[in-house]
């Protein structure tokens, strides 16, 4: 079994080629590769020959991925909505003016 797995990982041989080298039946080799979850070459990493590991999570939504992009010229500490200033005052402040008092 170890020789089958090592030939598969090192040389990326198909079951018929492994069977010829070891003097076994191709069906036996394929059964061993299935047990070891190496029966598809696409499941192995091309460079290392190790099984590809994927992210696995217990339930949907367990992994949260957020992309953040700062759009526009938002001042440090947040924009006018965050600090609850009226929009007009925010525009005037950016232009270097002050808002007239009522």
- Per-residue pLDDT of 1-16, as tens digits, reads 899 988 888 888 889 9
In a domain, 14, yes or no: yes
Position 8 in a domain:
yes
In a domain, residue 79? The reply is yes
Determine, yes or no, domain membership for 51: no
84/44: higher pLDDT: 44
Domain span at residue 31 reads 2-43
41-72 residue pLDDT tens = 877 777 777 777 777 778 877 777 777 776 66
- Which residues pair with residue 51 across a beta bridge? 44
Average pLDDT for the chain: 77
Does 36 reside within a domain?
Answer: yes
Give how many domains the chain has, as a whole number.
2
Q: How far is CA 18 from the centre of its chain?
A: 33
d(CA 15, CA 39): 8
């Amino acid at each position: 079994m170890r020789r089958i797995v090592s030939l598969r990982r090192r040389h990326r041989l198909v079951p018929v080629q492994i069977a010829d080298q070891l003097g076994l039946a191709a069906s036996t080799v394929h059964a061993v590769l299935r047990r070891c979850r190496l029966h598809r070459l696409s499941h192995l990493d091309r460079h290392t020959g190790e099984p590809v590991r994927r992210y696995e999570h217990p339930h949907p939504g367990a992994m949260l991925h957020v992309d953040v992009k700062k759009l526009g010229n938002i001042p440090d500490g947040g924009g006018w909505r965050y600090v609850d200033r009226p929009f007009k005052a925010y525009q005037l402040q950016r232009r270097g003016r002050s808002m007239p008092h009522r």
